[in-house]
Structure 1
Amino acid sequence: GDRTILDVVPEVDDVLARCRDSLRLHQSECGIGAVTYHDFETGSANVSLHRAERILTAFERRRERADEDRGALDATPTWETLSELRSRYHVSQSELAEGTTLSQQQVSREWGESDEVRRTVAARLREVLTDVAET
């Protein structure tokens, strides 16, 4: 019938997509099933208040985690720490090289060996984590 549904958040697909992208999350990392989240982000389903709360919680946790992870970059981080952060935030070697004097090939070839690459990667990851934490 023509009943009004009061427990949904209308037209949030673009907001969800922008936030998820800015937080560097995959759809499966948004507090609900990936297929359901995909339906919300594409606008093919309405977001219930309950699910919106779960998504928001996942988004808030991501921001908090990024802020915590920045602390791991304060000292000289290990290669293991850099690898974990690169994986957690879905950062490619090409993206790590962007805006630096390094090429993606140098990052790949000298990963785990070069102090210059370690410093550069740590600085780039700090930028990424700052962007996520300030989303």
Structure 2
Amino acid sequence: MLPTETRVISLGIIGILASLALISILTKSILNKNFQIKIDNSGLFLGLIQHSKKLIYWKDITKIESINIEGIRHIIIYVKNVEYYGENEKGIQKYFFNSKMKKYKTPFVINVTALSENFDTIINSIITNWKKYKE
């Protein structure tokens, strides 16, 4: 069965829109000035993630662990009150938030390979400060 002209045009438009969305996400990531992890008395600021709420309060963290995903180590941060962190998510951000929730039971799956510190230093610092500040 040969494709119709309408189908070809429709798929072309969908492809262009998907490409524009991907370019927008990549541009935001590249130009992100807060591409870092900051630790303070309030909590853990994750400039690495694409969620609207990047500050995870110490009081909300229930567990921190390390897992391997396709041979790359990631930090998984489990939180209570997940609804609070997901309430402002829209569009593609909401999709990623929900897909991580389904797969890992938390939206905070952090790949730290792009940071200058090594993995063990980062996770140990996060865990040490969490234990220090948690209520």
TM-score if structure 2 supplies the norm length? 0.34
Higher strand share: 2
Higher helix share: 1
Larger relative contact order (Cα-Cα within 8 Å, sequence gap ≥ 6): 1
